[in-house]
Amino acid sequence: MLAAVSRHGQRVTAADPAAERAGIAPDMPLADARALCPALAVAPADPDGDAAALRRLALWCGRWSPWTAVDGADGVILDVTGCAHLFGGEAAMLDDQCRRLSGFGLTVRVAAAPTPGAAWAVARYGSGTVATIPEGGAAAALAPLPLAALRLDDATVQAMARVGLKRIGDVQGKPAAPLTARFGPRPVTRLDQALGRQAETVHGLMPAPRHEARRTFADPIVLTADVERTVAELADDLATRLAAAGVGARRLALRLFRVDGRVWTVTVRTSALCRDATHIIRLFRDRLDAGHEELDTGFGFELAVLAALAVETAVARQDGLGTAPDIATTAPATLADDVARLLDRFGNRFGFDRVVRYAPAASMIPERAARPVPVLADATPSDWAVHLRAVQGGDQLGRPLLLIAPPDPVTALAEVPDGPPVQFEWRRRAHRVARADGPERLAPEWWQPDPGADRLTRDYYRVEDVDGRRFWLYREGLYERPGEVPRWFLHGVFA
């Protein structure tokens, strides 16, 4: 028996069959319970632990249906539409549920019905441990049950009992308007839901996947090699299903159901649509090898499910007419796919918040002209082309790939004050300039609200020293403007 502390003292929260036979019931004061049975064994209640255990059990019940949810403090509800035939029919599925859940030491009552409300009522107030309500039989099955089976509160049930309404059959066929006027809309709504006259939505713990692959094992598997082999088989199956449906996956989940009622789950994401079995296998193998998910096999896994949780329509694409021998002749689309797969592996191993790409930003200042964005963010292929046309007039102005942030101050000498440098010193090393090109003038962004933003004009030069090294330098400030003291900075290095 379990007991909890309330403002009225310790009270019984749950009792086993032996305690119930002794006259002990939930919500009874613990002192009264001990008076009835002095040898009573009592354990403290753990509501949070019970809720967590019930949620784990609801996830484990995904072996029968992908749409499961916690129902109150002691129930699990499953939407098994289209699933029962996989287990030999509803009767065989209910027997399997009773056998497995009873094996966990649980007291089980199960029911299958056309509506969630009817299944709830029969499972809790029906006469048998296992019940199946056929289509169209809900009204007859519910008629002898008490009104509490409609999921009504105690106050409403007692109020209806005072006027002689004690069974569901007493309100079936009664006009809705008088019932609603006297007892509120809930009794009529619950009756309509139970009989299927009003729809009722079940909010599952996990989104129901539209595409998934399953493997059931006659003997539970415990070896990592067996898990990897199973993932490979499931990936081939799922990739075939995705290709046949013309879609690609953005997020995939692998769920391994243990024989003791626990579920081991790992999820991977992709930056591009994926339906390639080899890539899916590699993503899950990387997660296992990296140790992000500890594979606790327990007494073994008896069911494995690989599901595509997020899918999008995949557009067919012609990459090329043959196999390219090297990178120089490889189709750009093929290279883009390889890069996307590499980013997927990095993201799933290190976290997608740590893997970024650079997107153009609306700024003329080079260090502000690009911003890091997550690789999962939507990428527009023409972003950089549009940016170059807007910033550089569509011409490539010879910007270096490597920028120094922040720019390094240097000491420079020029033949004329506003001319290119002929010599500069950077990091205690002198460089004599052999060639120089420029200037490329960038005006300050006066419209920026940041008070710390640069407010001086920049003149950029591409220079090459006598040893063939090329640099990108700029002079900040103009000599002809009073109050400005021009300074030189090195902003980038060319490859």
What's 30's domain CATH number? Answer: 3.40.1170
What was the pLDDT predicted at 146? Answer: 93
- Cα 380–chain centre separation: 24
> Could you tell me if residue 277 is inside a domain?
yes
> Could you tell me if residue 352 is inside a domain?
no
- Cα separation, 166 vs 157, in Å, equals 8
Q: Last residue of some domain: 129, 164, 195?
A: 195
Is there a single domain that holds both residue 119 and residue 59? yes
Burial of 486 (0-12, 13-18, 19+ CB in 10 A): middle
Tell me whether strands 130-132 and 247-258 are parallel, antiparallel or unpaired.
unpaired
* Bridge partners of residue 471, in order along the sequence: 463, 493
Is there a single domain that holds both residue 156 and residue 258? no
- Contact assessment for residue 287 and residue 254, using Cβ atoms and an 8 Å cutoff: no
- Cα separation, 280 vs 277, in Å, equals 5
Q: How many CB atoms are closer than 10 A to CB 279?
A: 19
What string of pLDDT tens digits covers the 495 residues of the chain? 566 665 667 888 888 888 888 888 888 888 888 888 888 888 888 888 888 999 989 888 988 888 888 998 889 999 888 888 888 888 999 999 999 999 888 889 999 999 999 999 999 998 888 999 998 899 999 999 999 999 999 999 999 999 999 999 999 988 999 999 999 999 999 999 999 998 887 777 777 778 889 999 988 998 888 988 999 999 999 999 998 888 888 889 999 998 888 888 888 888 888 888 999 998 888 887 765 456 778 888 999 999 998 888 877 665 555 554 444 444 455 556 777 788 888 887 777 778 888 888 777 788 888 888 887 776 555 566 676 666 665 555 567 878 888 899 999 999 888 889 999 999 989 999 999 988 888 888 777 766 455 578 899 999 999 999 999 999 998 888 887 889 999 999 987
What was the pLDDT predicted at 435? Answer: 92
Of 83, 143, 81, 69, the C-alpha closest to 113 is 81
> Could you tell me if residue 337 is inside a domain?
no
Of 465, 485, 456, 366, the C-alpha closest to 422 is 465
Is there a single domain that holds both residue 6 and residue 126? no
Is there a single domain that holds both residue 55 and residue 191? yes
Is there a single domain that holds both residue 248 and residue 171? no
CA angle 281, 285, 286 (to 5 degrees): 120
> Could you tell me if residue 20 is inside a domain?
yes
> Could you tell me if residue 385 is inside a domain?
yes
> Could you tell me if residue 102 is inside a domain?
yes
Is there a single domain that holds both residue 147 and residue 53? yes
Which residue range(s) make up the domain with 424? Answer: 402-493
> What CATH code is carried by the domain that includes residue 304?
3.30.1490.100
Torsion of CA 217, 57, 205, 196, to 10 degrees: 100
Is there a single domain that holds both residue 59 and residue 130? yes
Is there a single domain that holds both residue 32 and residue 55? no
Q: Last residue of some domain: 313, 338, 371?
A: 313
What was the pLDDT predicted at 21? Answer: 86
What was the pLDDT predicted at 325? Answer: 46
Burial of 308 (0-12, 13-18, 19+ CB in 10 A): buried
Is there a single domain that holds both residue 104 and residue 239? no
What was the pLDDT predicted at 326? Answer: 46
> Could you tell me if residue 333 is inside a domain?
no
Is there a single domain that holds both residue 486 and residue 376? no
- Cα separation, 413 vs 297, in Å, equals 70
Q: Last residue of some domain: 337, 368, 392?
A: 392
- Cα separation, 7 vs 2, in Å, equals 17
> Could you tell me if residue 72 is inside a domain?
yes
pTM above 0.95, yes or no: no
Six-digit token string for 166: 């004690």
What was the pLDDT predicted at 329? Answer: 45
What was the pLDDT predicted at 384? Answer: 67
Tally of domains in the chain: 5
Is there a single domain that holds both residue 59 and residue 189? yes
Is there a single domain that holds both residue 73 and residue 186? yes
Q: How many CB atoms are closer than 10 A to CB 249?
A: 25
- Cα 394–chain centre separation: 41
